[in-house]
Homo-oligomer: A and B are copies of this chain.
């Protein structure tokens, strides 16, 4: 398989984006004659993030892109050789140079699937040396993508379906690709759009944005617009001097609001006019550069009403400081009284956007019933996931040469589940999710309508369950290096994520102290765990 270039090549992971021990182990496997032993690894997490009971699987498209283009360059191999022992065999280096993923098979949860602890997000099988080398890049590509998608999904659950959620986190991300990953997977998790232009260009994420405080403060009010004349929205009728019209409207607005004509800041007004002249169809006011009540609001209303007279409708206002909810309520009332005063009913419904360090708690406040906030911009707290900034995915060897492998360790939580496995979601007759079942790959799948005995993880006793439906969880995406089916688009995965979440019971979907969703082992898998644990020290 030739190294494949794709449009997103620049942002892709590279083979050397890996922990050095993968390279030393590669030499170890090679010298032990085990480079080609057939091996299987599983990528999973041990606990759901943020104290919740679910996660969304994400990052698969980046993994497949990485795998399909995986090739070590000559310069990569030379760099590795410079760190390996001086007697490293040229044949080993030649082996590295020839590596690609044409012998790798990947099963995985589709993007946007519900994922639970211990259920593999990815199963990667292929030659031992190679699939070991893939560990770090795959973890890097899945772990944060799934974390931030889950975080975005939580915020969407809090916001409800009607608030528009805008991701603004690029400046707070871990460098360029952190930002691109965040914007992509926040959208997958349920956000409506991102401020990140590159995410629009490379990933098709809807992009939004209007203006910052610097645009406002860059105007002093002494600037003269090159052309203050604006044609009406209909295109019919004479052009109007927007500056003059805004001046007239400002007088009326100030009288209505009980403000002096000198209160609203000239520079802010000049900035609003400049923005309105550039974007008459998409005028938005950022209200809090100087003072919302004495300046931002009256300036916005004057420009919006002047535009309104010409048939243009302002698209919104934005607040970025202070008590966002309270101000939104008061601004809506001001819109309503002003709309009534000047017979401009469209003004009542102008969307109110807010931003400024909004976290889950503040979002719940902003999304409460009766809130007049329409659009919520979230940056830091969605991108950096401050409640828990890492998902802790691991990538563990489960079989070599067809034989199951298990790590016991000093810490029972870090034990692994041995063997090549299949995973199923068992559903009740009403379509509700009962549990996820892990079993050995060689076992026959559970049958709908048939009772079976399973061992919930962590339980000392088995239980019985009779699923009305059974869904296999892991799909074959890459077989011997070949893509088996086209990946869904990002927007399709986003819809799938929302659909997946809607099937989760309220008790499991709850963000605080949820009921834990059960993951269970088949009797055979449980027996294998017991036998390897007991026989762990032969």
Contact = CB atoms under 8 A, between A and B. Distances in A.
Given A31-B278, A37-B218, A538-B265, A25 B212 contact: yes
Interface stretch (A115-123, A152-160, A247-255, A378-386): A378-386
A32 B223 contact: yes
B79 A200 contact: yes
Contacts of A223: 32, 34
A513 interface: no
A389 B384 contact: yes
Interface in A3-56: 10-14, 16-25, 27-34, 37, 39, 41
A392 interface: yes
Contacts of A10: 10, 14
Contacts of A396: 213-214
Given A20-B200, A263-B537, A390-B384, A175 B168 contact: no
A400 B218 contact: yes
Given A17-B170, A20-B195, A175-B141, A39 B218 contact: yes
A214 B218 CA distance: 58
Nearest to A398: B217
Interface in A175-224: 175-182, 195-198, 200-201, 207-221, 223
B393 A21 contact: no
A277 B29 CA distance: 11
Interface stretch (A96-104, A406-414, A445-453, A484-492): A406-414
A322 interface: yes
A245 interface: no
Nearest to A168: B19
A321 interface: yes
A92 B288 CA distance: 29
A256 interface: no
A274 B28 contact: yes
Given A181-B174, A275-B28, A537-B263, A209 B408 contact: no
A417 interface: no
A451 B212 CA distance: 40
6 contacts: A24-B278, A25-B215, A214-B395, A321-B409, A384-B390, A386-B389
- Enumerate the 3 nearest inter-chain pairs by beta-carbon distance, A residue then B residue, closest first: A174-B178, A177-B177, A20-B209
Given A31-B226, A32-B277, 5 more contacts: A23-B197, A24-B282, A85-B282, A174-B178, A264-B537
